[in-house]
Amino acid sequence: MSTVTAPDVVRAAYAQLVVTDIAKARWFWVDLLGFHVQYEDARTLCLRGTDELTHHSLVLSQGAAAALNHIAYRVRTPDDVGKAESYFARLGCPVRRVRKGSGTQGVGEAVRVIDPLGFPVEFFHEIEQADRLIQRYDLHHGAQAARLDHFNLCTPDIPAAYAHYTALGFGCSETIEGDAHELYAAWMYRKQTVHDVAFTGGAGPRLHHVGVATHESHHVLHTADIFGALHKEHHIERGPGRHGVSNAFYVYLRDPDGHRVEIYTSDYYTGDPDHETYRWNVHDDRRRDFWGSAVIESWYKEASPVLGFDGLPQMVSDTLLDESAVRVGADGLG
Q: What is the nearest approach in angstroms of ligand 4SX to the Cβ of residue 195?
A: 7
Within 195-234, the residues that bind Fe ion by CB under 5 A are 211
The candidate with the shortest Cα–Cα distance to 17, out of 89, 91, 69, 80, is 69
Contact 96, 309 (CB under 8 A): yes
| Residues 245, 265: Cα–Cα separation, whole Å | 13
Within 123-152, the residues that bind Fe ion by CB under 5 A are 152
| Residues 122, 151: Cα–Cα separation, whole Å | 13
Q: What is the nearest approach in angstroms of ligand 4SX to the Cβ of residue 41?
A: 32
Among 74, 83, 235, 288, which residue interacts with ligand 4SX (rule: CB under 6 A)? 288
Total interface residues for ligand 4SX by CB under 6 A:
11
- Alpha carbon 155 to chain centroid, angstroms: 13
Contact 321, 314 (CB under 8 A): no
CB neighbours of residue 296 within 10 Å: 15
Phi-psi map region of 169: left, alpha, beta (phi>0 left; psi -120 to 50 alpha): left
Stretch near ligand 4SX under the rule CB under 6 A, chosen from 34-42, 72-80, 237-245, 303-311: 237-245
Stretch near ligand 4SX under the rule CB under 6 A, chosen from 43-51, 68-76, 129-137, 242-250: 242-250
The sign of the torsion formed by the CA atoms of 321, 258, 173, 115 equals positive
Q: Is 7 in the site for ligand 4SX (CB under 6 A)?
A: no
Q: What is the nearest approach in angstroms of ligand 4SX to the Cβ of residue 16?
A: 20
Among 244, 255, 256, 331, which residue interacts with ligand 4SX (rule: CB under 6 A)? 244
Among 84, 107, 197, 248, which residue interacts with ligand 4SX (rule: CB under 6 A)? 248
Residues engaged in binding ligand 4SX (CB under 6 A)? 152, 211, 243-246, 248, 262, 264, 287-288
